[in-house]
Each structure stands twice: as C-alpha cells, then as structure tokens.
Amino acid sequence: MSNGDRITGDVPGPRADRRGFLGAVLGTGMFGLVVSVLYPMWRFVFPPRDVRAAEEAVGIGPADDFPFNSGKLIQFGNEPALVVRTAEGEFRAFLGTCTHLACTVEYRPDLGLIWCACHDGQFDLTGKNIQGPPPRPLPPLEVQLRDGEILVSRPK
C-alpha cells in the first residue's frame, strides 16, 4: 500500500461497534414509537368484538340474591351496565356509562336514584336525566327473569 491509497468503507473496531449499537437502539426506539402510535389507531378502527354484548343475554345470577333497593354494576360485553332492583322489587337495567363524559354511574339507595360521581349527574329509575350536566337519558337494557335467573340483553 502506497501513501496515496485511501482506506474506504467501515473500519472495524470500537467506533464501528458504537455506531452499530446506537443504530440498534434508535431503530428499536423508532419501532416502539411507530407501534405505540399505530396500535391504538388500529384498535379504534377494529375494536375487539365481544359476542355477549351484541347477540346474547348476560346472566347475572339468581333474582333472590338481589336485595330490594340495590344496584349492581356488571360487565355487559365491553361496557359496564347497571342493574337496579327498586324498593318495590322491579328490575331495571341500563348501560352504565354516563351520557355526559362517560364516567360509570352507580345506584344510590339513599336517594333512590342513579348517580354519577364525576359531576353529580342524576338519573331517575327510568334512566331519564333529571339533574346535572348529563344531556341524555341512559340507554335502557332489557331484563328478563328465566328460571329464577336474571338475564340482561339489549332491547330488540
């Protein structure tokens, strides 16, 4: 090799190893960033499908296990639902997501109402919004008693 020859290409050694390591770290970081942006978009466009909510009734146990003037939150597909047994013993059920900003509602036996803790929204036992910021009633669900068991389903 004469003095005029130039060395081209990567020179193996510690410098090339650091460059490769940095490339791997940055590549992994970029991959993670892309996945963390695209995955939520993918799940929004193609949400997980829960067959129970769309097509079937959800069994929530024997009616005798439900005290009068009480409420119970259940999982209805991928949404919460609120089942209420009134002081008179009637069953009512609603989707449990507040129509204001989507907090989960609960039954307040002391008020005899459905209540949203986020902004003190209130619904009567027909699901109608009666106080606070909720703009619409709670969507009702159908309650059936079959062989002593309570079944909740979407209205047909």
Q: What are the residues binding ligand FES (CB under 6 A)?
A: 98, 100-101, 103, 116, 118-119, 121, 132-134
Q: Which is nearer to ligand FES, 116 or 150 (CB)?
A: 116
Q: Which is nearer to ligand FES, 53 or 118 (CB)?
A: 118
Q: How far is the CB of 81 from ligand FES (least distance, A)?
A: 16
Q: Which is nearer to ligand FES, 77 or 121 (CB)?
A: 121
Among 58, 111, 61, which Cα is nearest to 86's? Answer: 111
Q: Are 135 and 99 in contact (CB under 8 A)?
A: yes
Q: How far is the CB of 119 from ligand FES (least distance, A)?
A: 3
Q: How far is the CB of 140 from ligand FES (least distance, A)?
A: 17
Q: Which residue is nearest to ligand FES (CB)?
A: 121
Q: Which is nearer to ligand FES, 57 or 71 (CB)?
A: 71
DSSP letter for each residue of 46-111: SPPP-HHHHHSPEEEEEGGGS-SSEEEEEEETTEEEEEEE-TTS-EEEEE-B-TTT-PBPEEETTT
Q: How far is the CB of 152 from ligand FES (least distance, A)?
A: 21
C-alpha distances in angstroms, 86 versus 14, 29, 66, 68, 123?
A: 75, 55, 10, 6, 14
